[in-house]
Structure 1
């Protein structure tokens, strides 16, 4: 069956939709389905996307393509809408670089079914559902009416009120009312009617976009909250002129971010009296689409906005910026003080709602915002919510009732709160299309009944076909499709025992453990949806003295992060039984799991290395840092004759240590930064001498980082003595918790990991040094056995890494929608010159691999200087022998350019490891 995956779209959630669409694309069972990627751009064009672009980190990394981007002095990647009004011919030219435009009438010839991974307006509001019904194409999720209802928070609240269901009291403020209002009087009214805190929402947005909480009666904060929900921003002359040029750029970057700012295009207008406003001044009016005159100006691009702000605020006291896709009203609610949860409700095979175990969202005072939702480790998800069994069952019953009342179909995600005082349950903000990232609630809760992502998607496609047939969409045709799918699912289950078993080892105990879990899950999902491999998830914990291995059931593997997985293992080892609610739901879901999973979820099980060798045919190590990249695990596997991915023992022992790696490369004549190790014993003996010695050898600013951790963990640009002292105190600290004053000095991010070490690496800061062009790159490679048994090294086109801060952050490397990686790297505007420089860089990266005897695959980070005479200098930063394999990492962008899908790349890595083991065994036998 050809499954069209619709992703992207015009909404502010398009990056999460893009990442979710990739998850669906990768996890569709290849034995049952053929995935057809249908990217929807912000103008609503359907694009049959070339598969390699699916693996870009963000939409802006490929669309619009570089050839369509105007020259800009402001470092902000643009979305399609910033190109302005384009003719159909201009749009077709741009689209042709990434795929081809598909007219709606063509869809029925290309796909049998539409899987909708779109979010927000244009995706889950009934619009695309109506179009698909017009052409007779079955689709996933709810139909037209429940979708339209599911996106409208105001309509939902009115219905809940009418039905007497608990929902926080609310008021609506329209944009016109706000423009004419006295902010202080309005705030007093809302506080009197609803109390504090107040919650402000954009009524037709998801992913916590446009949401604020006001905890005190502060008029300035109140006005900012209203503006956030209307997607407006008032800028005063005083605040603008107080910013430096660099700060203005940074401010602009935040403003045009469609998730946390207001995006582009915007209307810039000077203040006008409220009695001068007309309908044409409304932000959502089509008048906004026309070039502005007088006090109103339509602005598409960042540098235009920068120039306009500089010009207008030279004379005006303030200006107002309004997104052309802003909201026309704000929903203001009373704050619910309670435990926050999220519950997925499915249709069972009989079309009845079945609530999965509700998940509690545990966080501090901060709001559960976009970043907390999608970056592992920032907010914890506890399933089921830690409440008495009767309360959990009440949440489930109310969720099922809302599902039925609103007429939802197939599945929905319902969020809510339960009050501690009286147990009142408030349900709000239903989502007819849940986020589909690997660790989202969607897959997280399905795993609790024993379905892995691939199996869950199969069930949803089958259930959606049945729902569309019940609703009268081409019943005879869909009956035949259902029969064929049921037969294929049964045949797939019968062939399950013939696949190659691969242990995917993830986790560990380093500061990189969360990213390791993300990598491991991604490998698991790529293999589980394949015809060839059957992955076995294995979690490694313990210490360098003793590894402990646990085979994980799918529900534990899909916990939010490594710490949650470890806690679940410890909970089981302490003798705790399965939660009664989970046991009940698994029984209720037996008709689903018996068909699609074969067996229900079990508990984690500790295994020895010897037992593991008896269970699997080979191993994929998804660990980062120690253990994993240091050769210790490889040694254990070699003794058991288990093939594994990546470099061998000797090479891994070198590349794990950045100091040893750089020393070897320098001795071989390659360029590296000046470096030395700074030991705790030196610091303890005489702290002042320790600091002076470093300052003498390394003028500020310089780089300080752990010698044997990667993933940007604790990599800091040290600019003065205070930062050096803070870094030293943190890395040499005795307690686990961070030292607050030192963390503040280093501007550590929320819940940022900072490892403890006995020594750290200090390096000269690599800078432009007068070069005509200077950029940071990361390049992947893959090794093959040649016909004569010699090792061949394939070096991919490197990616250019753009850091928004002083160094690349964890989020920029691994979080979907965050990092800005341009592949291939932009070494020069001229294509021939760019390729010449690229070949020089690849030659140096190949030398690194040869010197360090890298095998399998690796990622090498470097800086590149291009001198005015064309000379190319490559300065190596570090080598990762087991690079991150998260869905958004740029190594997949590079392999796509070389023609490998992520699955094919992983398959080559596994095949290489198997051939290496066969060669080693042949040598021993000979």
Structure 2
């Protein structure tokens, strides 16, 4: 069955939709479905997307394509609507660079079923559902009516109140009323009198907590800012703008243009229409007006206010069984770092914590489930829904945000809760498709054709259950105990999911914890693998093997669903040794970053028990984990690296002042300080002065894991930022242009193969240009969907031929570095490139990652796509090399 996956869209949630569409594309069972990517751009065009663009980090990385971008002094990223009014031919030309435009009447020629991962307006409001019904295309999720209800928060409130659901006090007012109110303090007084403090201010037609604020005190300035945020209005005062530095102005415009956190573009600036961020920058620089009111062209027409509900916040996925009966999966408690579960908290690991089931009495959990099922039926939802709410200490349940579409990132509630009843992401997506077809049959439209389609799918699902196909058993080891353990889990889950939907591999998730002296290995059930982060997983594998009573009941209720899709699933974590692992699997994918994994320790154990694995061997791994030794070896062989030195804890404690003076005599601020023997980006800091150097050393050499408040402030460390404790760290020169005509940071991936004679052959991919928001590239920018900016291939020169010449030089240096270090399997090499006259390039190596991040958004997948590898095929090539290398060593 051909599945058209609709992703992107016109709403402010298009980046999450884009990332969710990629998840669905990768996880559809390849024995049952063929995935067809249908990218919906922000103007509403349907584009049959060339598959390689699915693996870009963000929409703005590929669309509009680089060749269509106008000159931008400050290199602002834009969506296509910021190109302004273009002709039909110009739009067609842009679309043809990334795929093929298709019209709704052509859908039936390309796919049999539409899987909707679109969010917000035009995606989950009944618009696309109606369009698909018009053209007789079955689609996932709820129908037209329930989708329209699901998007409109005001209509929801009225219907819920009439049906007897507990509800907070509410109030509304229009944009027109707001703009015509001279003194906003009077309105605030009325609202405080009507609904009390604190209260929540919402944009009624948005999802993902976009345009949502909490007002906790009677503060007129904050009230105005919060309401403007919900209406997507921003006020800019010339006196403030003119005090900004150039960097601050660029940051302001970048944030404002971000559709997740800012008001987005195009905008009206005092009634003048502005499309591009660069034009807005210039307008604010030249306007004579003291106050400029910026209003998004698609702002909200009203604001919804609700009294704040004290209590625990939760989210609950409700699904239907084959008889149409709703079943509420175990509700998840959301533990936030702030009052608001905002966009970043929802989608960035570590920003919040998910606890499933919610930690309250069983009777209260069942009350949540009952109310969620009742609301699901009351609003006539179908197939599945995500319902959010609060529960107070008395067990009173307040449901406040029913959604007909859930986020579909690998760690979303959608998959997280389905895993509690034993469904892995691939199986859950099959369930969604099957149940959606059954629901569309009930509408009486093309029902005989749909029934035949359903019967065929059921037969194929049954055949999969009874098939005895022998698959390669692949352990995916994730976690670890380094500062990169959370990213390792993201990588491991991605590898597991790519393999689980394949016809070749049977993946087995394995969590590694313990310490350098003693590795602890646990085979995990799917529900534990999909916990929030590595620390949550470690807690669960160490806990007694007993399911929560509520989860036991839900598993029993859902037996009619799971029995159809799940084979022999692992139910409880199982502690094993490397010897037992060798009996269970045929090959290992090490998805660990930093220590252990990239230091040769795990490789040593796997070689001892005779298991093939991915990546470099023991000796190469031991070298590349050590940044100092890597630099020394590369410099010895004529490769450019930064000037560097090690700072040891015992020397620092014995003579801090003398050591600082020695460093300052050898290096000029700013310098780079980072762990010398850990993975990438953790605790990498640009040190601008002596105070920051001392703070960095204090943090690195601290005696306990707890952060030190003084250094945290000096280094501006973020909440939940990882900062390891070490006995030494690395200092190196900050690499600069040094007179080059062009200077950029790149990261390049490579893959090794064996030729017919068993010789090692390197395939070095086109590097990506990486642009950091802050002073150094963060973990989030490197690996997380919707974060960071990577341009693949890197922009070495405007002239294509010149760019090819430069790229060849860079890739040759990366290859030479890999050969010197005896890298095998695959790797990622980070570097700076200086480009001089006559297209001469100098490549300065920063670090080599022998087990690079393999999260869905990492740019190594952008690079492999240019060479024709989909992520699964790249992973398959990595494993295939490991197995062939082992076979050769066995003779």
**Shorter-chain TM-score tier:** over 0.9
- Tell me the C-alpha RMSD between the 2 structures: 0.9
**Aligned pair partner of 2:277 in 302, 306, 312:** 302
Cα drift, residue 750 of structure 1: 2.0
8 Å Cα contact 1:361/1:379 also seen in 2: yes
* In structure 2, C-alpha distance between the alignment counterparts of 1:217 and 1:641, rounded to whole Å: 68
* In structure 2, C-alpha distance between the alignment counterparts of 1:860 and 1:159, rounded to whole Å: 56
Pair 1:331-2:300 in alignment: no
8 Å Cα contact 1:671/1:876 also seen in 2: yes
Report the 3-state secondary structure (helix = DSSP H, G, I; strand = E; otherwise coil) of the residue aligned with 1:3.
strand
**Aligned pair partner of 1:445 in 409, 412, 417:** 417
8 Å Cα contact 2:680/2:849 also seen in 1: no
Counterpart for residue 161 of structure 2:
161
**Aligned pair partner of 2:887 in 904, 908, 918:** 918
8 Å Cα contact 2:488/2:593 also seen in 1: yes
Counterpart for residue 186 of structure 1:
187
1:617-696 paired onto structure 2 within 5 Å: 617-696=586-665
Cα drift, residue 655 of structure 1: 0.4
Which digits, 9 at most, give the CA deviation of each residue in 1:267-320, with x for residues without a partner? 000xxxxxxxxxxxxxxxxxxxxxxxxxx21000011101111122xx322010
Q: Aligned residues, how many?
A: 890
8 Å Cα contact 2:52/2:865 also seen in 1: yes
Counterpart for residue 502 of structure 2:
530
Report the 3-state secondary structure (helix = DSSP H, G, I; strand = E; otherwise coil) of the residue aligned with 1:36.
strand
Counterpart for residue 279 of structure 1:
none
Pair 1:94-2:94 in alignment: yes
1:271-670 paired onto structure 2 within 5 Å: 296-312=271-287, 315-420=288-393, 422-495=394-467, 498-572=470-544, 577-599=546-568, 602-670=571-639
In terms of mean alpha carbon deviation, does 165-174 or 220-229 score higher? 165-174
Cα drift, residue 497 of structure 1: 5.1
Counterpart for residue 281 of structure 1:
none
* In structure 2, C-alpha distance between the alignment counterparts of 1:769 and 1:910, rounded to whole Å: 41
* In structure 2, C-alpha distance between the alignment counterparts of 1:236 and 1:545, rounded to whole Å: 60
Counterpart for residue 766 of structure 1:
735
8 Å Cα contact 2:367/2:395 also seen in 1: no
* In structure 2, C-alpha distance between the alignment counterparts of 1:502 and 1:600, rounded to whole Å: 15
Cα drift, residue 87 of structure 1: 2.0
* In structure 2, C-alpha distance between the alignment counterparts of 1:318 and 1:19, rounded to whole Å: 38
Report the 3-state secondary structure (helix = DSSP H, G, I; strand = E; otherwise coil) of the residue aligned with 1:448.
helix
* In structure 2, C-alpha distance between the alignment counterparts of 1:18 and 1:364, rounded to whole Å: 26
8 Å Cα contact 2:673/2:684 also seen in 1: yes
8 Å Cα contact 2:593/2:851 also seen in 1: yes
8 Å Cα contact 1:449/1:600 also seen in 2: no
8 Å Cα contact 2:9/2:41 also seen in 1: yes
8 Å Cα contact 2:485/2:534 also seen in 1: yes
Counterpart for residue 18 of structure 2:
18
Pair 1:175-2:175 in alignment: yes
* In structure 1, C-alpha distance between the alignment counterparts of 2:659 and 2:168, rounded to whole Å: 59
In terms of mean alpha carbon deviation, does 796-805 or 303-312 score higher? 303-312
Cα drift, residue 599 of structure 1: 4.2
* In structure 2, C-alpha distance between the alignment counterparts of 1:563 and 1:43, rounded to whole Å: 42
* In structure 2, C-alpha distance between the alignment counterparts of 1:466 and 1:675, rounded to whole Å: 64
In terms of mean alpha carbon deviation, does 1-10 or 865-874 score higher? 865-874
Counterpart for residue 29 of structure 2:
29
8 Å Cα contact 1:359/1:384 also seen in 2: yes
8 Å Cα contact 1:37/1:51 also seen in 2: yes
8 Å Cα contact 2:4/2:111 also seen in 1: yes
8 Å Cα contact 1:783/1:857 also seen in 2: yes
Counterpart for residue 803 of structure 1:
772
Report the 3-state secondary structure (helix = DSSP H, G, I; strand = E; otherwise coil) of the residue aligned with 2:837.
coil
Report the 3-state secondary structure (helix = DSSP H, G, I; strand = E; otherwise coil) of the residue aligned with 1:782.
strand
Cα drift, residue 140 of structure 1: 0.1
8 Å Cα contact 1:74/1:302 also seen in 2: no
Which digits, 9 at most, give the CA deviation of each residue in 1:1-49, with x for residues without a partner? 0000000000000000000000000000000000000000001000000
1:857-872 paired onto structure 2 within 5 Å: 857-872=826-841
Give the structure-1-normalised TM-score. 0.95
* In structure 1, C-alpha distance between the alignment counterparts of 2:392 and 2:295, rounded to whole Å: 37
Cα drift, residue 708 of structure 1: 1.5
Pair 1:265-2:234 in alignment: no
In terms of mean alpha carbon deviation, does 792-801 or 88-97 score higher? 88-97
Counterpart for residue 753 of structure 1:
722
Cα drift, residue 710 of structure 1: 2.1
The 1:168–1:712 alpha-carbon spacing in structure 2 relative to 1, beyond 3 Å, is same
* In structure 1, C-alpha distance between the alignment counterparts of 2:401 and 2:468, rounded to whole Å: 39
* In structure 1, C-alpha distance between the alignment counterparts of 2:70 and 2:315, rounded to whole Å: 43
Report the 3-state secondary structure (helix = DSSP H, G, I; strand = E; otherwise coil) of the residue aligned with 1:610.
helix
Q: Which runs of 5+ in 2 are unaligned?
A: none
* In structure 2, C-alpha distance between the alignment counterparts of 1:216 and 1:815, rounded to whole Å: 35
Which digits, 9 at most, give the CA deviation of each residue in 1:227-254, with x for residues without a partner? 0000010111221111112211111111
Give the structure-2-normalised TM-score. 0.99
Counterpart for residue 38 of structure 1:
38
Pair 1:726-2:701 in alignment: no
* In structure 2, C-alpha distance between the alignment counterparts of 1:600 and 1:183, rounded to whole Å: 59
Cα drift, residue 601 of structure 1: 5.7
The 1:351–1:599 alpha-carbon spacing in structure 2 relative to 1, beyond 3 Å, is farther
Counterpart for residue 286 of structure 1:
none
Which digits, 9 at most, give the CA deviation of each residue in 1:166-199, with x for residues without a partner? 1111111210110122200011111111111111
Counterpart for residue 285 of structure 1:
none
Cα drift, residue 164 of structure 1: 2.5
8 Å Cα contact 1:171/1:333 also seen in 2: yes
1:66-145 paired onto structure 2 within 5 Å: 66-145=66-145
* In structure 1, C-alpha distance between the alignment counterparts of 2:351 and 2:537, rounded to whole Å: 15
Counterpart for residue 820 of structure 1:
789
Which digits, 9 at most, give the CA deviation of each residue in 1:668-705, with x for residues without a partner? 01100000110001111011112111111111000000
Report the 3-state secondary structure (helix = DSSP H, G, I; strand = E; otherwise coil) of the residue aligned with 1:498.
coil
Cα drift, residue 496 of structure 1: 5.5
* In structure 1, C-alpha distance between the alignment counterparts of 2:569 and 2:732, rounded to whole Å: 52
8 Å Cα contact 1:138/1:473 also seen in 2: no
8 Å Cα contact 1:447/1:601 also seen in 2: no
Cα drift, residue 870 of structure 1: 2.4
* In structure 2, C-alpha distance between the alignment counterparts of 1:700 and 1:490, rounded to whole Å: 66
Q: Which runs of 5+ in 1 are unaligned?
A: 270-295
8 Å Cα contact 1:201/1:211 also seen in 2: yes
* In structure 1, C-alpha distance between the alignment counterparts of 2:176 and 2:349, rounded to whole Å: 40
* In structure 2, C-alpha distance between the alignment counterparts of 1:391 and 1:476, rounded to whole Å: 43
Counterpart for residue 245 of structure 1:
246
8 Å Cα contact 1:555/1:601 also seen in 2: no
In terms of mean alpha carbon deviation, does 781-790 or 453-462 score higher? 781-790
Counterpart for residue 8 of structure 2:
8
* In structure 1, C-alpha distance between the alignment counterparts of 2:18 and 2:88, rounded to whole Å: 24
* In structure 2, C-alpha distance between the alignment counterparts of 1:770 and 1:173, rounded to whole Å: 58
The 1:497–1:550 alpha-carbon spacing in structure 2 relative to 1, beyond 3 Å, is farther
Counterpart for residue 272 of structure 1:
none
8 Å Cα contact 2:525/2:569 also seen in 1: no
Cα drift, residue 845 of structure 1: 0.3
Counterpart for residue 885 of structure 1:
854
Report the 3-state secondary structure (helix = DSSP H, G, I; strand = E; otherwise coil) of the residue aligned with 2:495.
helix
